[in-house]
Amino acid sequence: MTKVKGLPLTNTGILSFGGYIPRRRLQRAEIAKAHRWYNAGLGRWARGERAIANWDEDSITMAVEAARECLKQVDTQDVSGVWMASTRFPFLDRQNAGILAEALQLRGSFTTLDISSSQRAGTSGLMTALSASAQNPILLAAAEKRRAKGASASEMTIGDGAAAFLVGSGPVIARYMGGCTHPVDFIDHFRGEDTSFDYVWEERWTRDEGFMKIVPASVKKLIEQTGVDPSSINTFCFPLGDTRTAASIAKRVGLPETSVADNLQGSCGDTGSAHPLVMLAKALETARPGDRILVTGFGQGCDALLFEATNALADRRPPLGISGHLERRTPESNYLRYLSHNDLITIDRGFRAEVDKPTSLTTHYRNRETAQSMVGGRCNKCGTVQFPRSNICVAPKCGAIGTQEPYPFADRTGRLISFTADSLTFTPDPPSYYGLVQFDGGGRLLCDLSDIDSVDDVHVGMPVRMVFRVKDYDTRRDFRRYFWKAVPVELAAAGHQET
Amino acid sequence: MASGIKDKVAILGMGCSRFGERWDRNAEDLIVEAFVEALADAGIEKNQIQGAWFGSALEDLHVGKSGIPLSITLRLPNIPVTRIENYCATGTDAFRNACYAVASGACDFALALGVEKLKDTGYGGLPQRGRGTVNDLTIANTSAPGSFAQLAAAYRAVHNVGEADLKRAMAHVSVKSHANGARNPKAHLRNTITEEQVLKAPMVASPLGLYDCCGVSDGSACAIVTTPEIARALGKKDLVTVKALQMAASNGLESQYNDWDGSHVVTTRAAARRAYREAGIKNPREELSLIEVHDCFSVTELVTMEDLFISPEGGAIRDILNGFYDADGSIPCQIDGGLKCFGHPVAASGLRMIYEIYLQLTGRAGDRQRHDNPRIGLTHNLGGNPAQNVCAISIVGLEGA
């Protein structure tokens, strides 16, 4: 994946990409309906739906899903960086990209980096990764599980999602033609270190003084720098505002009217610092060789990046990508459940929720291959695979001691042997689904099931795949523990497995 | 080769507290309630007891750790007291240890006592217990009903049984146990119920509804054991002796290896085979007079009928619906109401089961007494979940049976 002979070193670009949008889509009309008594003005946004993460998803877990898709089609041996961009990192002091790398079972020597503090985190991260990956590729995942106050305009427009890019030189699917930043400390919103929610200034001002002035300045700089004729640009990704704003910007800098990309406000919502990358991924899913894609990220200034799709794109499109994940949707009309999952309402969760969930950090560290990477064991004497690894082989006719080699389970599919929908045990989203999964190729695990809507959708023999999710929230210490859960292999995702 | 302890140990006395929501009693009070009855039944002095095994499974909720709480509560004369915890098999395990002490010649008189005080949690159902910091990293956040509910899904798949057919047989199990519990003055739940009520009850863990789940109770039960010779010397007649005591613990094969189908309990089958061998039972369906099994959930009782080799594999539904296990059936199961209605104070349950068999064999079971001269009975405990558990089986019978 590194240098290909004959190509100039400057020939960096995108080697592969992936996307992730959570399944549930909160119907905006339901949000507006709930708040009509308080703020009837929200009705102007009451169209379409926004993607909302499940209770066990956060920016890291969504980044993992996007990155798994991105890395599916490439060799990861020479990855030189695992970077993550977000303004909603689960941890402020514990590297989030490090958790991403462990979940991806990446081992070896590479940089890990969290990029944050601006809605430009995704684009700035991508730009920096592109300039640092000439020798060896870098993975950048941008993800955001967003939060907003109830009855705010943001609550209507935000969405959750992720995109991941492997960038470097070599047989790129989109050549990086250049990028630039126009930094301005323009504060359309901010969030301090001790607050949960954004403080937002008037949107008309943001549009007139921010979007309409700062974005064109940045794009013009990029056009000058690359010498590209703006009318040759096929797709313009501007993540914010309404389509009219993007069209006005396009007009001001000479981009074709047809280049303005759908910012997914109707189907997904604004995924924050991940959104420019979500839009870039979406654009690449349908781009033809030679297409030029302009991506902008806005936040205390503006990033602008230009890509040109190559012939290699057709072979390396992700199985689902953003489009496939957008199609894989479950409409959600239960606004109260959304409030509950996002701690926006105080729900009596019952005595069983009081069980303390501390994590022994020594135990966690010792067992992190098992828990975070889902690596089990394979007996080098009899070949039996098992989860978790143990000193003594589980095969009754073997029982060899100390013969277990690491055997990854995260990408194995399996089938349910048994299951239940448990209304007694504590879960933020009752009932709790769990069952015994028999993995194809051997090994089994009694594990949580996620993304299930009804017990009628579950049956013995049902095919499942594993996803990285939050297992437990330790609210007392603000820690969270991740593990893998089984989700149904859907028709769309079935193709996902075959690649 | 070891041949077991058949007829080497006799039950000298037994006691059992009333089970239920004993709001006005501490665990220590329940211990005394059961012990006073057993001591009077045994007809010995407290200071003659030379060793005690004390079962408490959720000790953090009541007495705390170690054997000391029993020693203090009963003011035992500085004898060895060992605390036993083995999930729901705790009571039977305490009994097993006391019997082994007698059979080995270490003690002339040994006490096994189990107690649980579960109604001080503030909510219904069993509380969630710690599973160890390593297990917590990976194991699903299960409840007891959710763990056992999975037997139903797998049983249906393996035996190709329709949901309604299985639910009806499960309902019969519960209706039968309520009818039995209604005749037991010490039982926690003494109301009768109908099949319709069971089927319409709110879901706890699919497909287990409220009436598919046993009660969670406060209670205590105990046994004083000795040798048949000493019992006779004390003037006891119609001795009840221990025919077999067997346990089996899962080794992780069900939950980690590839061949268990989830529809039965491996340890029950292993312990039952050994118990029948120890007791010299060739055909349990013909030879057993009555049984008390671990009916924590209706579906557990159903599969246990097959795992004990009484119903043929896949045949439990038919036997249950035919009334084979009813109080007036061929082999009554839970004639005292079972965990379902007598109640389930975890560490007391195994001893409560033996208590009922003991009463039936000695003709002291009151309104629910079987009149077909019961000679031999089996008790069965299952602790943990179907994939990872400990099973304890006892067979007790009249001397010479």
Question: Looking at the complex, does the CB of residue B257 fall below 8 Å from at least one CB of chain A?
Answer: yes
Closest CA of chain B from A423, distance in Å:
5
B338 Cβ contact list (under 8 Å, min separation 6): B177, B180, B181, B214, B292, B293, B295, B301
- Residues in chain B closer than 8 A to A441 (CB atoms): none
Digit-coded pLDDT (tens) for B269-317: 999 999 999 999 999 999 999 999 999 999 999 999 999 999 999 999 9
Digit-coded pLDDT (tens) for B165-184: 999 999 999 999 999 999 99
DSSP string, A372-402: TS-EEEEETTT--EESS--SB-S-TTT--BS
3-class secondary structure, B395:
strand
Q: Domain spans of chain A?
A: 12-189+203-341, 359-374+409-498
Beta bridge partners of A470: A482
Superfamily in which the A12-189+203-341 domain is placed by CATH? Thiolase/Chalcone synthase (3.40.47.10)
Its ipTM equals 0.95
Strands B51-55, B81-84: parallel, antiparallel or unpaired by DSSP?
parallel
Digit-coded pLDDT (tens) for A265-277: 999 999 999 999 9
Name the residue in chain A with its Cα closest to that of B152. A418
DSSP 8-state symbol, A158: B
Of residues A74 and B274, which shows the higher confidence score?
Answer: B274
Q: Cα separation of B288 and B374, whole Å?
A: 8
3-class secondary structure, B138:
helix
- Residues in chain A closer than 8 A to B262 (CB atoms): 417-418, 436
Closest CA of chain A from B389, distance in Å:
14
Within 10 A of A494 (CB to CB), how many other CB atoms are there? Answer: 13
Name the residue in chain A with its Cα closest to that of B160. A460
Q: Cα separation of B128 and B61, whole Å?
A: 12
Asked if the Cβ–Cβ distance from A424 to B125 is below 8 Å, we say: yes
Asked if the Cβ–Cβ distance from B146 to A425 is below 8 Å, we say: yes
| Interface size, chain A vs chain B, as Cβ–Cβ contacts under 8 Å | 137
Q: Cα separation of A425 and B238, whole Å?
A: 47
Q: What is the mean pLDDT of chain A?
A: 94
Q: Cα separation of B147 and B383, whole Å?
A: 11
Asked if the Cβ–Cβ distance from A434 to B137 is below 8 Å, we say: no
CATH number of A359-374+409-498: 2.40.50
Q: Is B296 known to be catalytic?
A: no
Q: Cα separation of A362 and A299, whole Å?
A: 40
3-class secondary structure, A169:
strand
Which position has the token pair 């090994």?
A443
Q: Name the residue among A363, A420, A421 with its Cβ closest to that of B134.
A: A363
Nearest C-alpha neighbor of B203 from the set B158, B152, B162? B152
Digit-coded pLDDT (tens) for B345-386: 999 999 999 999 999 999 999 999 999 999 999 999 999 999
Decide if pLDDT at A9 tops 70. Answer: no
How confident is the model at residue B201, as a pLDDT?
A: 98
Digit-coded pLDDT (tens) for A457-478: 999 999 999 999 999 999 999 9
Q: What is the mean pLDDT of chain B?
A: 97
Decide if pLDDT at A448 tops 90. Answer: yes
- Residues in chain A closer than 8 A to B157 (CB atoms): 460-461
How confident is the model at residue A10, as a pLDDT?
A: 54
Closest CA of chain B from A113, distance in Å:
26
How confident is the model at residue B126, as a pLDDT?
A: 87
CB A326 within 8 Å of CB A264 = yes
Read off the tokens for A271.
């995924």
Asked if the Cβ–Cβ distance from B140 to A394 is below 8 Å, we say: no
Helix (H) or strand (E) holding A16: strand A12-20
- Residues in chain A closer than 8 A to B387 (CB atoms): 436, 446
Structural domains in chain B, sorted by start? 10-120+218-233 (3.40.47.10), 142-209+243-398 (3.40.47.10)
Q: Cα separation of A347 and A341, whole Å?
A: 10
3-class secondary structure, A368:
helix
CB B69 within 8 Å of CB B113 = no
Asked if the Cβ–Cβ distance from A418 to B154 is below 8 Å, we say: yes
DSSP 8-state symbol, A209: I
Asked if the Cβ–Cβ distance from A370 to B136 is below 8 Å, we say: no
Closest CA of chain B from A356, distance in Å:
10
* Amino acid code (one letter) for A343: D
Q: How many CA atoms lie within 13 A of B333 on its CB side?
A: 28
Asked if the Cβ–Cβ distance from B142 to A425 is below 8 Å, we say: yes
Q: Cα separation of B232 and B149, whole Å?
A: 47
Question: Looking at the complex, does the CB of residue B142 fall below 8 Å from at least one CB of chain A?
Answer: yes
Q: Is B188 known to be catalytic?
A: no
How confident is the model at residue B124, as a pLDDT?
A: 87
Nearest C-alpha neighbor of A219 from the set A182, A183, A187, A244? A182
Question: Looking at the complex, does the CB of residue B131 fall below 8 Å from at least one CB of chain A?
Answer: no
- Residues in chain B closer than 8 A to A421 (CB atoms): 203, 205-206
Residue A160: C-alpha distances to residues A92, A144, B179 (Å):
19, 6, 55
Asked if the Cβ–Cβ distance from A447 to B138 is below 8 Å, we say: yes
Closest CA of chain B from A350, distance in Å:
9
Confidence of residue A6 (pLDDT cuts 50, 70, 90): very low
Digit-coded pLDDT (tens) for A207-244: 999 999 999 999 999 999 999 999 999 999 999 977 79
Nearest C-alpha neighbor of A69 from the set A271, A268, A454, A328? A328
